[in-house]
Chain A
Amino acid sequence: MTRTHPFSFLWVQAGSCGGCTASAFEHESGLLAGQQPELKLLAHPALSQESGEEFSRVVEQILEGTLLLDALLVEGAVLLGPNGSGRFQMALGFDRPMSRLISELAGQARHVVAVGSCAAFGGVVAGASGRTEATGLQYANGLAGGLLSAGWRSGSGLPVINIAGCAPHPGWIAETLLLLADGALSPDDLDSFARPRFYADHLAHHGCNRNEYYEYKASAHEPAQQGCLMENLGCRATQAPGDCNRRRWNGTGSCTNAGFACIACTVPGFADGSEPYLETPKVAGIPVGLPVDMPKAWFVALAALSKSATPGRVRKNATESRIVVPPAPRIRSQK
């Protein structure tokens, strides 16, 4: 693939909350504030100077092929309802459903990028009710084929690139775009759900502040306690793709660091309502959702062993809101 600078992109909002835009706006590059010279934002519904007809003209030029589009970015789930009509979201100024406008624009773009879990898989909007007939661009929850078919490829030959996350980290969005602009994102760089592997090959668990509590299965029982959130409070970080705890959010934050469960928002179907978010489903006292790639018998054996080896300090602090027992003082041993 070739390097394209400036790399033009159009941002479209389907059935969205605007949170992916809000997140992207956070990026230090000024991605959406016109500060990144490699990238050229052609139009964005919340940020462009143009409004009404003037805005629609930009989109029309892309449809006519007179304005080159390197990447179409879609935020939000595609709404096919009611009854397949798409009228839950009409594309204003185009007299047709947004779902159709997105299909047409996808045909003109070198790359198509689903920003956030809604555009990727349907996300929260494709949750339990089903009345909006919401879908992702190329997946409907975990099933291949959404608005676009499973075999669909953009002008570049890539499938829809899924920056899953609710909302995705600003860096995930910016770096995906910059990699595309550099011609440095190949099919091998995407995982089995077409998520960029630079963040999806990690687990949200990696780098969690609560690591020692996890190691000893010293668990929190209530919000605002310091222990591990996996056993009781619903944490799915050991099963969730994302470099959340390595990269950190809004400075030094992360979900688990702030004391609440990872809800695996990068995973297809994370909002299907099948399990409550803030408690851990268990069978015979053992969490159903175990760390990925770990044999269950080993997990159970190790958990039992580590629980019996838990230092008193760790056990005590796990159910406190702050450290009440500090680590034992140490000096280098004299020889």
Chain B
Amino acid sequence: MTRLIIGPFNRVEGDLEVRLEIENGQVREAFVNASLFRDFEQLMAGRAALDALAIAPRICGICSIAQSAAAAAALANAAKLSMPPNGQAALNLLQATENAADHLVHFTLFFMPDFARPDYQTKPWHSETRNRFMAGQGKMAALVAIARRALFEIMGILAGKWPHSLALQPGGTTKPVDSAERVRLKSIIANFRRFLETHLFGLSLKQIAALASQDALNACDQGDFGLFLKISRDLDLWRLGKSQTDLMSFGAFADPQTGESLFAGGIWRNNALAPLAPEAITEDIAHAWYGGEQALHPSQGATIPNADKPEAYSWSKAPRLNGQSVEVGALARQLLSGQPLIRDLHARHGSTVAVRVVARLIELARLALAMEDWAEALEPKAPFCHPFNLERTVLRGAGLIEAARGSLGHWLEISEGRLRRYQVIAPTTWNFSPRDAKGQPGPLEAALVGTPVKAGESTPVAVQHVVRSFDPCMACTVH
């Protein structure tokens, strides 16, 4: 058995190191180290309750809107405050903008460049992939940067700036939209839609969102989506990096009028929908550099760093649901929301590299379509924000939302108007968690087992595909 340590693991957000034990040309065991600790939970302690809205987004400059939304939701939950339909529509637009941009950037800048590596130079698709996706040279990076910048004018209109805005409040959003801004939003979204249809899919978003089976998917041969599907078939990415866990989503994008989620929450277990009980969440610290109690619900959680703990190997705690590790992300959301293609793919292959990537792109198409509806729903003459007031007693709140990469939870406790406890579980905390007290590995650690490693590979290319298929955000993971 040989050991391989891959770090720094690039083209992910933040610091990541993966240790592999290799036997007979494949990974036998994997250990994931989230190697940066910044202490955000403790940075909240003692501050005015609304300061959470300024500190939380700064946990992550990539998922900044999502972190804001979770903090605002936790404060709203503590104060039993709802938001007007306009606030919800604006919140949905902001979250969808960040989410859509993340999916597009992940595909173009993080995931696809691996297929431009010399490892694949004999493949018939290599030179096209290289021209389009080689980091720093491929033409798609520049085009995506332009499309993203145009899309992010939505951030300028609704959030003032990105990253790190204070526009999201417990009772709605701080920026009323006038009638001219509303039609500007619609034209920005329409431009983004054209970009996706022209470059990424080569098909209309409605056609993409309506795909219902792998047979229908196989007929997609246009754009970068078609190129990716060709590569997936050739390298059998449908079988690579299989994770066996249940999948979870907190539910996302409440309808401004009805409150119903566009992407329903729950658990996907044994090919069926099961209800989610957030009270069954714990964070295990057996193999993380922390002291204190072994496994607590985040509303009771503590963060006590101990860099000298011998059995620890990561700054990430290990979140578990009913003691089990679960996978979160676009795949979970699309499965739970009943998107027929993703249900078909998951039933055939399980959660694998190609299924995760296709789920992300299907979600991207569905989001761009939904954004048109939310912009349409804005009513310039109606309110955007309800005022926030705290009673001067002890309050607890939980904000459970979906970031681009999966389920994000903030749990807080307030007394005398000050934050006394703040705990965060981010999507990649779930997906890239270390082992727990029972020795149960996290989803990535389990998914890497069996991944082929060729002789002489120092950064095995198949391992790169598996790791990046989860679209990790390490800044969020440890916070």
Contacts and interface: CB of A to CB of B under 8 A. Distances in A.
B147 to A, nearest CB: 12
Interface stretch (B12-20, B232-240, B341-349, B404-412): B12-20
B4 to A, nearest CB: 9
B7 interface: yes
B160 A260 contact: yes
A174 interface: no
Given A48-B10, A89-B35, A251-B157, A128 B164 contact: no
A19 B136 contact: no
A3 to B, nearest CB: 23
B7 A93 contact: yes
B161 interface: yes
Contacts of B416: none
Interface in B22-71: 35-39, 42-43, 45-48, 50-51, 53-55, 58-62, 64
Contacts of A55: 8, 10
A184 B37 CA distance: 38
A286 interface: no
Contact of B459 (A22, A53, A248, A263): A53
A45 B11 CA distance: 6
A134 B58 CA distance: 15
B10 A260 contact: no
Interface stretch (B197-205, B321-329, B383-391): B383-391
B387 A223 contact: yes
Contact of A51 (B35, B173, B305, B459): B459
Interface stretch (B174-182, B213-221, B262-270, B436-444): B174-182
Interface in A17-55: 17-23, 25-26, 28, 30, 32-35, 41, 45-55
B156 interface: yes
Given A17-B475, A34-B136, A34-B142, A54 B459 contact: yes
Contacts of A19: 58, 60-62, 64, 163-164
Contact of B152 (A26, A257, A258): A26
Contacts, number: 272
Interface string B384-404: 110110000000000000000
Contacts of B6: 51-52
A85 B10 contact: no
A85 to B, nearest CB: 7
A252 B175 contact: no
Q: Is the interface of B mostly helix, strand, loop or mixed?
A: loop
Interface in B144-168: 145, 148-149, 152-167
Q: Is the interface of A mostly helix, strand, loop or mixed?
A: loop
A278 B53 contact: yes
Interface residues of B, number: 86
A248 B325 CA distance: 44
Nearest to B87: A224
A34 B141 contact: yes
B163 A167 contact: yes
Contacts of A254: 160-161
Contacts of A32: 145
A93 to B, nearest CB: 5
B6 to A, nearest CB: 5
A61 to B, nearest CB: 16
Contacts of A182: none
B58 A224 contact: no
B53 A132 contact: no
Contact of B174 (A127, A132, A223): A223
A322 B176 CA distance: 7
Interface residues of A, number: 81
Contacts of A250: 152-156, 159, 161-162
Interface stretch (A135-143, A269-277, A290-298, A326-334): A269-277
B135 A49 contact: yes
Contacts of B10: 45-46, 48, 50-52, 55
Contact of A278 (B42, B51, B161): B51
A47 B11 contact: yes
B434 interface: no
B155 A18 contact: no
B458 interface: yes
A7 interface: no
Contacts of B174: 223-224, 258-260
B96 interface: no
A119 interface: no
A15 interface: yes
B301 interface: no
A127 B6 CA distance: 32
Contacts of A88: 36-38, 305, 307, 315
A88 B159 CA distance: 32
Given A249-B161, A260-B174, A277-B50, A167 B61 contact: yes
7 contacts: A33-B136, A47-B135, A48-B136, A77-B38, A93-B7, A224-B384, A259-B174
The 10 closest A-B pairs by CB, nearest first: A19-B61, A258-B160, A253-B156, A259-B174, A250-B156, A92-B7, A251-B153, A249-B161, A276-B48, A49-B135
